Amino acid sequence: MSNDIRERAKQILSVVPPLGQQINSVGATADLFTKLTGKTQAQLQSNWDGGGIMTTCNEFVGWFGTQLGSTKYLGRFDIEAELARMSKGQAWVSAKSGARPKCGDIFRPKKFHMGISLDFEGNKWNTVESGQGGPKSGFDIIKRKQTIWDADALQGWVDLELYFSPAQIGPVPDWLVGWWKVTWRGRAYYYYFDRGREVKWTQTLPQNTSQPPPVARDTGKFLVEPLNVITIHWSASGTVEKFVKAPVAIEQMGGTWNDKEPLTAVKM
């Protein structure tokens, strides 16, 4: 599913020309601009003539989400709150998490803007964004951009894999429920998975492994995906962890922290 949704995003975004070229709301690209945003130059100009500052960053993001198959409009500045209202809060990744957005992830800067992530070249971040013109330019623009990665400038982003993960049905597997000892960077952490698809962690060794922790450092939601893949989205930190159950008798999992650092887990 991961590769499928990201490849689909890449294909949809291929309509935007290479870096250095752009789609304008006027001239030869006007019709394509309207297709991708639903706005015409006449509508923009009417707004500007009345003293407005309308651009189309939201509309382009909304179009993109619809093309991917979202039944909800994603071109909203309150996207984090909207995900929570949709019971999709696990798809929001905080910019403080230490992670980086992937191809197709919809990002929300701290300023009133939205865009779509492409990829990274070292510390250079490639994106696709509309709203690159405005009343001063006399037209609006959709184009690819390359900037230096700065997590402090962002609120966060929508992780496509988590957003489009199928609704969870059926019970949480018995092998997952309970306490796990997770090792990260040589240190031990203790996770408790419950049947309500919540997980809590603490650094205090549990004295009673039949009960959840009385106090937790963070609480997350988890998804159970095919082939025993477990994806956790931590609420406070925004960190995303992915585990896969090992095909051995003893219950073990291997995983990654923000797709970068290794994790190991053993059932207690």
CATH number at residue 233: 2.40.128.10
Q: How far apart are CA 113 and CA 208, in angstroms?
A: 48
User: Would you give the DSSP letter of residue 166?
Assistant: P
Same domain, 183 and 257: yes
What 210-219 contacts at long range (C-beta under 8 Å, 24+ apart), as own/partner pairs, is 216/192
Same domain, 39 and 150: yes
- High-pLDDT (> 90) share of the chain, %: 77
Same domain, 69 and 150: yes
Q: 208: domain range?
A: 178-267
Sign of CA dihedral 5, 12, 126, 79: negative
- 39, pLDDT greater than 90: yes
pLDDT at position 142, please? Answer: 98
Q: Which range, of 32-46, 108-122, 160-174, averages the lowest pLDDT?
A: 160-174
- 195, pLDDT greater than 50: yes
pLDDT band with cut points at 50, 70 and 90 for residue 246: confident
pLDDT at position 170, please? Answer: 66
Residue 204 and residue 268 in contact, taking contact as beta carbons nearer than 8 Å:
no
* Domain total of the chain: 2
Is 243 a member of any domain? Answer: yes
| Tokens linked to 141 | 């623009």
pLDDT at position 3, please? Answer: 62
- 249, pLDDT greater than 70: no
For the entire predicted model, the pTM comes to 0.76
Closest-CA residue to 2 (of 225, 263, 247, 228): 225
Q: Give 227 or 22, the one with higher predicted confidence.
A: 22
Q: Give 2 or 164, the one with higher predicted confidence.
A: 164
Is 20 a member of any domain? Answer: yes
Same domain, 216 and 101: no
pLDDT at position 1, please? Answer: 46
Residue 238 and residue 93 in contact, taking contact as beta carbons nearer than 8 Å:
yes
Question: Region 75-96: what's the mean pLDDT?
Answer: 91
- 157, pLDDT greater than 90: yes
Same domain, 93 and 13: yes
Helices assigned H by DSSP within the chain: 2-13, 30-37, 41-49, 57-68, 79-85, 160-163
Is 57 a member of any domain? Answer: yes
Instruction: Mark which of 134, 163, 192 sits at the end of a domain.
Output: 163
